[in-house]
């Protein structure tokens, strides 16, 4: 609308955000949790003067830098890049609300980078207390980064009492922030501790004493983090908006995934307690891999659900998934979606000057006089700007399959009642003429019902009539 | 079609800070970003060339640069986010459309950066471990070319932001069903190549000053007197080349491509005329200092060169910002858009900024103390 829509064939642009964010979230959570665990364990090792533990912990720092400072930092920037391309209006809004939140986050990010490098490159060269302090500087700054970013992503799901007049703090302290911070804190520690487990299981096979020490200490981190994930997740669930709860209840996949988070967290907790915590020396590579995969499953699932239940908004009650300000919808419905969009209007002016009025607006009566091929092209424009944020034409969430076997009335009804058909879709933001053109375009893509399916039962007539109401209607016409 | 028809509406949220504040932090962030960015932009190609063909001192330079390059890149990337953040606040109506029109190239920056950065690590770790394999050498080359290409892509987006009149042409060529395919580039803009190469010229001068700085101050005990002599001479030669590139590309940019309205505006603004003149001649001042230490790097001369180079970068950033504003003001007076200042977050940010500097400063004093104690100073 305000910006050109980016068309990514067969995939949809917002799915690129999901792709990059999925990779980034594991790394960034590990960066936070790993920092805390490393700082805590290094401080402890210095305190008891355990050189072997220090040597072992040192082996983690180069990998830590290579993963977090390089890959984590660039994919973090990558998310920012992608949201600006795939959801420019939502990004514009978020940046206006949270610019100083982001600016603060980057202050901490710079501290993170500097402290991470000093922690690694000056290991054994700085005095122990200074070295441990640098480790804690990293841990604290990384954690504050997590807190700041979580406040922003939590706002997307629930704006709480925020209004534009109230500014950033009101937006930041929304009902979702603290539960999500708790859950993410747990997830970050969980990933870090389970990774160290995994590492120790393979690398410390011949160092039973050190391995037992690591097992015992890390299992405490692991259990605490699994408990945090569960507590934060439960609190989050209690606080989510009603629409998000309905989305969770209505989508069977999300249902299963929600149960999976709690199940995986509980399994990790009890396995750690009855395993390495109670019986040091018990750890073996197979179980370590299982732990790690459970941790990945719990974390990844949580993040997926957090994103999934936000629909139909990118910013709850403020920007819809198709990059429209909620406040603009009534005007668009009255004056037309194509007319209200900067780039849709430019397209129409360029491609179809004959349908433009002298004052530069679209004459909708003339739109219906266009040849069918042109009407379909205009329908395609409507699809790109109204639907392509979630649906491709053929491919991911393809409209060809979603409307397979539908007739014109069905498509038209759904187009004009999008939010009624599925409450997780935004309302139709255009006028009746545009709805007719979009319907035509969708029907041109829609696949016919799969052949060979029979719904005839003993009571069906022998003339071939079926129990399929739509097929009967078509036949009667 | 009137180009202004493609500019989106003003955000109903209002700007969270006055325009001067946004511009100040955008420029400050860009200056801080330019220092490390210049060193990898022009420095990585030196690493690659000297790693492949260098001997003795030139090979030593490649090793020294590659060892510090990972830290330089990490700092540069993160400092680069500051100007990008404030660009998105102050110039969103221009930044987002430009990005979407060249989305594929713009997003590829992330992928290229990841490979380039790891390539630097492959070479750097090879040097540290004394294993410079062919793979490490190829990695250095790939990284150096990748960084230069990333510079090209950045110039594309930031020149396209102000090149609103070409938006519709790129959009028409590369749209499907009215949506941008993101396959455009701003190659029809005559300012694109001189802007890109002008930055490369400045990057060469910054890298030259860094080479002198490194030989003078950083791990002085590791470098021999012969190396310091060689470094002084090489830094001077490289700086001279950089000045030539900067002067040639800058002349092409200003006299060959800059629009008449911007030049007229410049002629009517004595302050900016003066700043532009200083921007043009300031690399020459650094060059004189580099000339003075061409036989061997010297402490005072290096400090002078570093301070002056910071002035060069500052002047450049200010001049660039002024040109960008003038070009964008033709379409929208972004400086006059509604403001709804978020005072308390702004103040908290400034306090944290100062506190952050203090924390970083404390850590730096600790490592300087270690370096000095290890060097026996």
Per the structure block, which two tokens stand in for B268?
A: 């009517």
Four-way CATH pick for A326-445: 1.10.287, 3.40.720, 1.10.760, 3.30.70 = 1.10.760
The reply to whether A325 touches chain B by the CB within 8 Å rule is yes
The reply to whether A96 touches chain B by the CB within 8 Å rule is yes
Does B8 contact A380 at a Cβ distance shorter than 8 Å? no
The reply to whether A97 touches chain B by the CB within 8 Å rule is yes
pLDDT at B220: 59
Does B349 contact A5 at a Cβ distance shorter than 8 Å? no
Task: Count other Cβ atoms within 10 Å, centred on residue A110.
Answer: 23
Locate the chain B residue with the closest alpha carbon to A108.
Answer: B356
CA angle A149, A158, B347 (to 5 degrees): 45
Highest mean pLDDT of the ranges A252-261, A416-425, B217-226, B257-266: A416-425
DSSP symbols for B314-366: HHHHHHHHHHHHHHHHTT--GGGS-B---HHHHHHHHHHHHHHHHHHHHHHHH
Locate the chain A residue with the closest alpha carbon to B350.
Answer: A104
Q: How far is B153 from chain A (nearest CA, A)?
A: 13
Q: What is the pLDDT of residues A152-186, one digit of tens each?
A: 999 999 999 999 999 999 999 999 999 999 999 99
Does A100 contact B15 at a Cβ distance shorter than 8 Å? no
- Taking the alpha carbons at both ends of chain A, their separation in whole angstroms is 39
Segments in chain B below pLDDT 50: none
- Give which of A80, A343, A350 to mutate to test B binding, by max B Cβ within 10 Å: A343
Reply yes or no on whether the pLDDT at A466 is more than 60.
Answer: no
Nearest by CB: B179 against A20, A167, A388: A388
- Give which of B9, B177, B343, B346 to mutate to test A binding, by max A Cβ within 10 Å: B177
Q: Which CATH number describes the domain made up of A13-320?
A: 1.20.1630
Asked whether the beta carbons of A186 and A158 are under 8 A apart, the reply is: no
CA distances from A443 to A395, A396, A399, A427 (A): 16, 18, 9, 20
Does A342 contact B345 at a Cβ distance shorter than 8 Å? no
pLDDT at A204: 84
Question: From CA B377, how far away is CA B374, in angstroms rounded?
Answer: 8
Q: How far is B309 from chain A (nearest CA, A)?
A: 23
Q: How far is A297 from chain B (nearest CA, A)?
A: 26
Asked whether the beta carbons of A190 and A226 are under 8 A apart, the reply is: yes
Does B180 contact A5 at a Cβ distance shorter than 8 Å? yes
CA distances from A469 to A405, A407, A463, A465, A466 (A): 12, 11, 15, 10, 8
Radius of gyration of chain B (CA): 22
- pLDDT higher at A462 or B38: B38
Check if A13-320 and A326-445 are the same fold.
Answer: no
Does B74 contact A95 at a Cβ distance shorter than 8 Å? no
pLDDT at A113: 93
Q: What is the pLDDT of residues A56-93, one digit of tens each?
A: 999 889 888 888 888 899 999 999 899 999 999 999 99
Does A75 contact B13 at a Cβ distance shorter than 8 Å? no
pLDDT at A468: 54
Nearest by CB: B179 against A5, A99, A130: A5
Interface A:B, Cβ pairs < 8 A: 228
pLDDT at A307: 80
DSSP type of residue A276: I
Q: Which residues of A touch B348 (CB under 8 A)?
A: 100, 104
Reply yes or no on whether the pLDDT at A457 is more than 60.
Answer: no
Q: Which residues of B touch A75 (CB under 8 A)?
A: 110, 114
Q: How far is A179 from chain B (nearest CA, A)?
A: 22
Task: Count other Cβ atoms within 10 Å, centred on residue A433.
Answer: 18
Does A81 contact B110 at a Cβ distance shorter than 8 Å? yes
Does A113 contact B171 at a Cβ distance shorter than 8 Å? no
Domain ranges across chain A: 13-320, 326-445
Contact residues for A220 (Cβ-Cβ < 8 A; gap 6+): A277
Does B9 contact A342 at a Cβ distance shorter than 8 Å? yes
Q: Which residues of B touch A137 (CB under 8 A)?
A: 359, 363
List the one residue out of A55, A417, A27 whose CA is nearest residue A204. A55
- Taking the alpha carbons at both ends of chain B, their separation in whole angstroms is 69
Q: Which residues of B touch A356 (CB under 8 A)?
A: none
CA distances from A151 to A147, A177, B17, B36, B357 (A): 6, 5, 21, 31, 24
Asked whether the beta carbons of B47 and B144 are under 8 A apart, the reply is: yes
Can you say whether residue A49 is alpha, beta or left, with left for phi > 0 and alpha for psi between -120 and 50 degrees?
A: left
**Residue appearing with tokens 């990010």:** A109
Q: What is the pLDDT of residues A117-162, one digit of tens each?
A: 999 999 999 999 999 999 999 999 999 999 999 999 999 999 999 9
DSSP symbols for A294-357: HHHHHHHHHHHHHHHTTTTEEETTTEETTS-BGGGHHHHHHH-HHHH-HHHHHHHHHH-GGGB-
Reply yes or no on whether the pLDDT at A226 is more than 80.
Answer: yes
Q: What is the pLDDT of residues A304-344, one digit of tens each?
A: 888 888 889 999 999 999 999 999 999 999 999 999 999 99
Question: From CA A475, how far away is CA B30, in angstroms rounded?
Answer: 68
Highest mean pLDDT of the ranges A227-241, A275-289, A300-314: A227-241
Can you say whether residue A361 is alpha, beta or left, with left for phi > 0 and alpha for psi between -120 and 50 degrees?
A: beta
Buried b (16+ CB within 10 A) or exposed e, A438-447: bbbbbbebbe
Nearest by CB: A381 against B70, B74, B177: B177
Q: pLDDT category, A475, cuts 50, 70, 90?
A: low
Task: Count other Cβ atoms within 10 Å, centred on residue B151.
Answer: 21
The reply to whether A330 touches chain B by the CB within 8 Å rule is no
Proportion of chain A above pLDDT 70, given as a percent? 95
Q: How far is A144 from chain B (nearest CA, A)?
A: 12
Asked whether the beta carbons of A99 and A80 are under 8 A apart, the reply is: no
pLDDT at B236: 97
Q: Which residues of B touch A2 (CB under 8 A)?
A: 8-9
If you average pLDDT over every residue of chain A, what do you get? 90
Nearest by CB: A93 against B13, B178, B345: B13
Does B356 contact A107 at a Cβ distance shorter than 8 Å? yes
Q: Which residues of B touch A94 (CB under 8 A)?
A: none
pLDDT at B51: 95
């Amino acid at each position: 609308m305000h910006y050109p829509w980016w068309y990514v064939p067969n995939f949809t642009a917002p799915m690129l955000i999901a792709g990059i964010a999925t990779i980034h979230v594991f790394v960034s959570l590990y960066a936070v949790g790993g920092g805390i665990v490393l700082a805590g364990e290094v401080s402890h090792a210095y305190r008891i003067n355990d050189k072997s533990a220090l040597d072992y912990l040192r082996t983690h720092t180069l990998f830590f830098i290579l993963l977090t400072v390089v890959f984590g930092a660039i994919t973090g920037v990558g998310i920012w890049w992608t949201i600006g391309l795939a959801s420019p209006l939502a990004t514009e809004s978020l940046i206006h609300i949270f610019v100083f939140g982001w600016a603060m986050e980057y202050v901490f990010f710079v501290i993170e980078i500097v402290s991470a490098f000093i922690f690694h490159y000056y290991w054994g060269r700085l005095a122990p207390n200074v070295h441990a302090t640098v480790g804690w500087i990293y841990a604290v700054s990384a954690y504050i980064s997590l807190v700041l970013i979580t406040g922003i992503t939590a706002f997307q799901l629930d704006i709480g009492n925020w209004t534009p007049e109230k500014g950033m703090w009101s937006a930041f302290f929304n009902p979702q922030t603290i539960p999500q911070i708790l859950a993410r804190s747990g997830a970050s520690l969980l990933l870090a501790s389970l990774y160290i487990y995994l590492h120790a299981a393979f690398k410390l096979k011949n160092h039973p004493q050190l391995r037992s020490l690591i097992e015992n200490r890390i299992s405490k981190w692991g259990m605490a983090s699994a408990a945090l994930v569960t507590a934060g997740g439960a609190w989050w669930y209690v606080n989510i908006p009603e629409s998000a709860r309905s989305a969770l209840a209505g989508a069977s996949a999300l249902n299963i995934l929600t149960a999976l988070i709690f199940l995986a967290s509980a399994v990790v907790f009890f396995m750690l307690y009855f395993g390495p915590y109670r019986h040091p020396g018990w750890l073996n590579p197979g179980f370590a891999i299982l732990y790690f995969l459970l941790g990945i499953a719990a974390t990844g699932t949580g993040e997926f659900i957090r994103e999934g239940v936000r629909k139909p908004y990118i910013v709850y009650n403020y920007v819809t998934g198709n990059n429209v300000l909620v406040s603009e919808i009534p005007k668009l419905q009255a004056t037309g979606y194509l007319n209200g969009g900067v780039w849709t209007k430019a397209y129409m002016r360029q491609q179809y000057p004959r349908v433009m009025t002298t004052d530069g607006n679209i004459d909708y009566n003339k739109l219906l006089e266009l040849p069918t091929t042109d009407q379909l092209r205009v329908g395609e424009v409507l699809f790109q700007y109204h639907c392509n944020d979630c649906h491709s034409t053929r491919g991911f969430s393809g409209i060809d399959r979603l409307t397979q076997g539908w007739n014109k009335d069905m498509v038209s009804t759904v187009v004009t009642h999008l939010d009624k058909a599925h409450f997780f879709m935004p309302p139709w933001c255009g006028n009746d003429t545009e709805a007719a053109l979009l319907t035509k375009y969708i029907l041109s893509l829609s696949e016919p019902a799969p052949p060979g399916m029979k719904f005839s039962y003993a009571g069906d007539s022998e003339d071939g009539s079926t129990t399929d109401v739509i097929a009967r209607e078509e036949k009667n016409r | 079609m009137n180009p202004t028809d493609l500019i989106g509406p003003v955000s109903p949220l209002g700007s969270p800070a006055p325009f001067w504040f946004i511009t100040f932090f955008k420029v400050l962030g860009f200056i801080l970003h330019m220092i490390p960015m210049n060193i990898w932009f022009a420095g990585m190609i030196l690493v690659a060339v000297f790693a492949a063909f260098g001997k003795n001192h030139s090979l030593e330079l490649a090793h020294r640069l590659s060892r510090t390059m990972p830290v330089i890149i990490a700092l540069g990337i993160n400092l680069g986010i500051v100007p990008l953040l404030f660009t998105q606040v102050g110039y969103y109506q221009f930044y987002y459309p430009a990005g979407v029109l060249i989305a594929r190239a713009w997003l590829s920056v992330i992928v290229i950066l990841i490979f380039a950065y790891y390539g630097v690590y492959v070479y750097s770790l090879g040097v540290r471990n004394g294993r410079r394999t062919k793979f490490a050498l190829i990695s250095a080359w790939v990284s150096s070319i990748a960084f230069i290409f990333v510079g090209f892509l950045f110039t594309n987006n930031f020149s396209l932001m102000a090149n609103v009149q070409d938006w519709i042409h790129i959009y028409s060529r590369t749209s499907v069903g009215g949506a941008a395919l993101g396959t455009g580039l701003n190659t029809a803009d005559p300012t694109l190549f001189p802007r890109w190469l002008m930055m490369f010229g400045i990057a060469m001068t910054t890298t030259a000053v860094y080479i002198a700085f490194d030989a003078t101050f950083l791990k002085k005990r590791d470098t021999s007197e012969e190396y310091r002599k060689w470094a002084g001479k090489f830094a001077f030669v490289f700086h001279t080349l950089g000045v030539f590139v900067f002067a040639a590309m800058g002349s092409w940019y200003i006299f060959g491509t800059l629009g008449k309205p911007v030049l007229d505006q410049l002629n009517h603004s004595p302050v900016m005329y003066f700043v532009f003149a200083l921007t043009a001649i300031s690399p020459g001042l650094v060059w004189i200092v580099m000339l003075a230490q061409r036989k061997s790097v010297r402490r005072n001369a290096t400090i002078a060169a570093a301070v002056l180079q910071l002035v060069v970068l500052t002047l450049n950033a200010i001049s660039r910002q002024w040109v960008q504003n003038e070009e964008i003001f033709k379409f929208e007076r972004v400086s006059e858009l509604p403001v709804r200042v978020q005072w308390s977050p702004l103040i908290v940010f400034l306090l944290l900024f100062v506190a952050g500097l203090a924390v970083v400063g404390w850590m730096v004093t600790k490592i300087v103390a270690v370096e000095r104690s290890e060097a026996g100073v």
